[in-house]
Structures are given as structure tokens and as C-alpha cells.
Amino acid sequence: MAPGILGRCRLCISVGLRDVQVAVLEGRKECHLLESHVLGDVRTLRGRMDAVQALFDEHLYLKAGYWAKVSVSFKSHKFALIPRAYYDPKTAPHYLSMNSFLRLEQEGIYAHYSPKGDFVNVFATEKKMVLWIRSLYPKLKPLITHQATPFVRGAIFSQGKQKNHALYALLDGRILHLTLLRGGKLLFYNQFAIRSKHDMIKYTTLVLREWKVPEKQTPFILFGDFSPPQLSAIRSHFPRARPGDRRKLLHFSYHFDEIPEHKYFDVLSFSLF
């Protein structure tokens, strides 16, 4: 990737506890860089901070200060998606405290409004990490959000003008994200910790039955770390399940041909922002 193109590209970073994905996107035009880094045996927030800083120090492009835009998403189970009409910034901590234990001495509470879906994503993540990232790009005001936001936005874009229900999945390690849409409208999003392909089928079935959506007829689009045996097992229960295709988002050169087309959908969906 030529350094001269950075000024017209968006740097996109997705930060997990033990991994980081990086993409360099030129608008809706093209992906120039797509990487995934394993941080090692990280067990604490301090350990993650050290590992991420080391990655940035060693990377050729991450500390460059002349990007067009910078977007960062955090992977966290401490989140809530609130319809905009019901969102009150004063009560943001209460949204999270209903299903999470907050360590406010270490964690900050952040919110990001998504016009596609008309929801506010409230989430908690490490304050020091956010402050450090903002300090790297002081003139750019990086977009800070939760992993659910680009995933849901990408799913809404992928459904396009279809009017019926569609279920979208993102498998990130052992976390299964499920988003149910109808006519481009968000009905449901949540994430589930899984241990086996049977867990995937169980949680998917629960979501569809809760919303009274037919299991056999509903399109089920799969993104992320799905293996061929997992895909086969899911298709045996949900006949309309199929791998997603990132090429609807961007153009990819032949350099990316070896990367499965259903991978990295969440970080690549920053192209829609």
C-alpha cells in the first residue's frame, strides 16, 4: 500500500480483548489493507493496553496522523441498543447496569447514534484505551463505537430493498452476533457466547421462534469465522442459510482472493459511515 493514499482513506480498527482487526478503506471504492492480529494470552485490561500499544508501535501505518478519517469499534458484552426515541443520555449507565457489572473507575460509558436503524448504541469500554486512541489522532476526532454498530449497519445495507425478514449472523471467535431485520428495519440484535455448533443452532432457533419467524423460509446470511462443518450443520436446520459476501461493500483486488468472502464484515462495514 502506497503511503501517499492515506490522506483519502479511512483507517478502521476493531479492538477485542485478544485480537485487533485493521482495514484501510477508500470511501465506498476500494479496500487497500485488511489485517487481523492476535494479541496473545491477554487476561487483563492492562495487558490488552500494553499489547495494543506494542502493535501500534511496530505497525507501518497505524500511527500515521494524516488519514481522512479514523473509526474504532470495541468488542464488549457491556452494551445496549436503545431506540432513539427512548434514549436519555442522563440514564446511559442504567441501560448497561441492567445486564452488566460496570467498573466505572476503569471503564467509560460511550454512546453512538446510528441513523441506519435509528438506535443509540450505549457501551462500556476501557477509558485509558479510548483516551490513548484519541491522543494519536487529535485533529481527526476518531469515531468511537461498539462492534454491533457497523455490523448492524452492514446488515441493513445488505438487505437492501427486500421487504421480508432476514437474519444475519456474525461469528467472532466464540461470540455469535444475531441481527433480525424486516424491510431494512432493525427488529433484534444480541450476542451469545457459544461452545459448539449446537449452541449456534439453539440460539438461532430461539431468536426466530421468539419473533415467530419461519425457520425454513427465512434468509440466513452468515459472516465471520464459520468453518465448513459449521456451515453444513447450520444449513441442515436452516435451508436458506448461506455465507455472506463482502464484495457488496467494496472492491477488492486479487491480493485478497485467499480471504473468505464472509470474513471481516463488521470492520469492512465502516465503509458505509
Taking a C-beta distance cutoff of 8 angstroms, is the pair 19, 46 a contact? Answer: no
**Within the chain, how many helices (H) and strands (E) appear?**
7, 13
**159-248 in CATH: which number?**
3.30.420.260
Considering just the CA atoms, what is the radius of gyration of the chain in Å? 18
Residue 2 has pLDDT above 80, yes or no: no
Which residue has cell 495487558? 47
pLDDT in tens, 250-270: 889 888 988 989 999 999 999
For residue 172, the SS3 value is strand
Spatial CA neighbour of 76 closest among 168, 145, 156: 145
Q: What's the CATH number of domain 3-152, 3.30.420.250, 3.20.20.70, 3.40.50.720, 3.90.260.10?
A: 3.30.420.250
> Per-domain residue ranges for the chain?
3-152, 159-248
Number of C-beta neighbours around residue 116 at 10 A: 16
The alpha carbon of residue 172 and the mean position of all alpha carbons in its chain are separated, in whole angstroms, by 9
3-152 and 159-248 have identical folds:
yes
The pTM (predicted TM-score) of the whole model is: 0.93
pLDDT in tens, 131-190: 999 999 999 999 999 999 999 999 999 998 888 999 999 999 999 999 999 999 999 999
pLDDT in tens, 187-223: 999 999 999 989 999 999 999 999 999 999 999 999 9
Q: What is the mean pLDDT of residues 81-95?
A: 90
pLDDT in tens, 217-244: 999 999 999 988 999 999 999 999 999 9
Taking a C-beta distance cutoff of 8 angstroms, is the pair 11, 67 a contact? Answer: yes
